[in-house]
Chain A
Amino acid sequence: MNQHIIQTSNFSGKTHWDKAALASLIEAGRIHSRVYTDPELFELELDRIFSTSWLFVGHQSEVPSPGDFQTRVLGRTSVIMVRGKDKGVRVLVNRCRHRGAQVCETETGNTKFFRCWYHGWVYDTNGDLAEQTGDEAYDDSMDRKAMGLTPVPRVENYRGFVFASFAREGETLTEFLGGAAAIIDLMVDASPTGELYADGGSHKTEYRGNWKLVGMDGYHPLHLHASVMETIHRDPDSGIGSTHRSNPFDDTAATYTRDFGHGHSMLDFREHRIKHYEQHSEFIKKTSGGAEYIDAMHKAHGEERARMLLSISGDPHLGLFPNVQLIHNQIRIVTPLAADHTQVEMIAVRLGGVSDEINANRLRHHESFYGPAGAGSPDDTEVFERVQRGMQAELNPWLDVSRGMAREFTDVDGSTVGRISDEVPQRGIFRHWIKLMTQS
């Protein structure tokens, strides 16, 4: 997100966190707070999670034309997602093959070449070395074809979402996403043409707390966001209210927490929101192009699915471990900077095949809750910082995540399901976390 702040590690691989010590951090229904506070564990996470797992890099629509690029930070590594002159999307390490300078210092743009300012080596948008200044000084032992910008070993794309992995081998993206792939579809299919554009701008925020605090939590809204709930009660059509008809966070509501494995989790509002389809479709129809949108959705997806997709407004409310969430109208990228420092970028998406007014409404809806001056996210980051401060007290270092353990069940698709306020996502995330942290 900010290419000037990059984790540099002098972590030597030596640690007192052997397998047994790591395993002792996670128990059934409780978690030791060191997982959020320990700087050495943070370094281990960069090695064992961010250097092995599939990571979200960006959406292909961020680089629509040859030469378009977008830099991002994956763990400690600054990368360039670039559409090459051959039209392929690559993820290249942002580091000159000569003596290591970053070759791209701009977050986004269009270019023919990446020129390293230090000694002038030039790379093309496919990453190949195009020019070596004073190349007569190198003899044939310099294999120029092998001196291009280092590609991240594996890159795959699911419906426009580009993921990369530093592990040369391992599970495929399909295996990694598992049941969560069908939930990504909920966002993409909110467009009747199946086109999503991550070009609505973004909110960039940061907080002094651990990256895993972002999580997925259906227990807090009634409490932490009480001020928003009060505001919604004044006008259900205003801002965030338009998708939160009646109370979705009540444990008697048809809303659920869902754990897909791999630390992927969801707040599942589908069943609840579909009950309010008529109200919500009236709300959509008030916008210019609204009736056409509803019509196009029915044609594209059939009655039943169209009603569900419209009811949830393309909000999958999905967290993909470790670094991306799809919430309301946003792709949210979580970038860990230190055990107690995290950046979050919320990129607003635009739906293809709908009117400008509908997309503009979705932007207004996003702004009402999210971003540094929104009604919701600042309360979230405020409490994450409070948690980080609170966890410094280690007299009794355990965090309780047992809510709903006795009532969770396994659904037909294999996911674990609980009521909306149950800590199913927290347990799912740490079940996967400990697996990755103790892998050899």
Chain B
Amino acid sequence: MSSSMNKASLSDWQMLREVELFLFHEAELADGNQYEDWLELWTADLLYWVPSNDDNLDPQKKISIIYDRRAQLEDRIFRLGTKHAYAQRPQSRLTRLVSNIVLDDFDTESGGWVSSRFVVVELRNHVQTLWSGRMRHKLVREDGKLRINEKHVFLLNNDTPVGNMTFII
């Protein structure tokens, strides 16, 4: 292996490490049901998308499980914060692993697209449920900090009947 390749992979590694730590931080906030802090991670305009039935569909033609722009995501977070969000009373207890993180099209200055996989174990009302799938994040750098501009979640089981998924996926 040439030394220049070593250098390239080392700078990649730093970039990757920063992204990794960001995604781990996001996972911590989501697992802790820290809705407001989690919302803080996003840019002003945003897309939070969880397609239904298929990974590749046109959300203008087909229903999604979640298709939130800023206004809808704010509604979601506001509602979860009210006293009456019964589907989250009790709240889900969550622990998630985020892994297989790959920088698809990313540079340190401006950010870009990141792919990863996740497993979420949810415990609610004495029932443990496993959720898993693929994610794509579009991260952008604002004032030196990474923020989420888009997040797409492709559930492994988006085409089978599922129960209550009102926690942050």
Chain A residues close to B by CB (< 8 Å): 1-2, 107, 199-207, 224-228, 230-231, 234-235, 238-239, 343-345, 348, 350, 356, 359-360, 363-364, 366-368, 371-373, 375, 378-379, 381-383, 385
Contacts and interface: CB of A to CB of B under 8 A. Distances in A.
A208 to B, nearest CB: 8
Interface in B65-111: 65-67, 71-72, 75-76, 78-80, 82-87
B7 interface: no
Contacts of B125: 385
A350 B71 CA distance: 24
Contacts of B165: 372-373, 378
B79 A375 contact: yes
Interface string B41-59: 0000000001011100101
Q: Size band of the B side of the interface?
A: 35 or more
Contacts of A199: 61
A373 B66 contact: yes
A109 to B, nearest CB: 13
Contact of A382 (B50, B87, B162): B87
B33 to A, nearest CB: 14
Contacts of A367: 63-67
B63 A378 contact: no
Given A202-B53, A224-B86, A372-B163, A231 B78 contact: yes
A367 B76 CA distance: 12
Interface of B: 50, 52-54, 57, 59-67, 71-72, 75-76, 78-80, 82-87, 125, 159-166, 169
A375 B82 contact: no
Contacts of A201: 52-54, 57, 61-64
Contacts of B164: 372, 378, 381-382
B71 A235 contact: yes
A386 to B, nearest CB: 9
B160 A204 contact: yes
9 contacts: A201-B57, A205-B162, A206-B161, A227-B84, A231-B75, A238-B75, A239-B72, A363-B67, A372-B164
B62 A373 contact: no
A234 B78 contact: yes
Nearest to B68: A367
Contacts of B52: 201-204, 371
Contact of A230 (B67, B79, B163): B79
Given A201-B64, A231-B79, A343-B161, 10 more contacts: A1-B161, A201-B57, A202-B52, A226-B82, A227-B84, A239-B72, A363-B59, A373-B65, A375-B76, A381-B164
Contacts of A225: 84
Contacts of B62: 200-201, 348, 363
Contacts of A385: 125
A350 B61 CA distance: 8
A199 B62 CA distance: 8
Contacts of A228: 79
A207 B78 contact: no
Contacts, number: 126
A203 B63 contact: yes
Interface centre among A231, A238, A343, A359 (most CB of B within 10 A): A231
Nearest to A203: B52
A380 B164 CA distance: 10
Contact of A373 (B50, B75, B83, B85): B50
B63 A371 contact: yes
Contact of A378 (B53, B54, B87): B87
A363 B64 CA distance: 8
Contacts of A2: 160-161
Contacts of B53: 201-202, 204
A348 B72 CA distance: 19
Contacts of B75: 231, 234-235, 238-239, 368, 375
Contacts of A372: 65, 162-166
Nearest to B66: A373
Contact of B63 (A107, A200, A206): A200
Contacts of A203: 52, 63, 65
Contacts of A207: 163
B66 A227 contact: no
A389 to B, nearest CB: 9
A348 B63 contact: yes
A231 B87 CA distance: 15
A72 B125 CA distance: 31
B161 A378 contact: no
B63 A205 contact: no
A204 B159 contact: yes
A238 B70 CA distance: 12
Nearest to A366: B63
A115 B87 CA distance: 44
Nearest first, the 6 closest Cβ-Cβ pairs linking A and B are A201-B62, A378-B87, A226-B84, A201-B63, A206-B161, A227-B84
A206 B87 contact: no
Contacts of A204: 52-53, 159-162
Contacts of B61: 199-201, 350, 356, 359-360, 363
A228 B79 CA distance: 7
Nearest to B50: A373
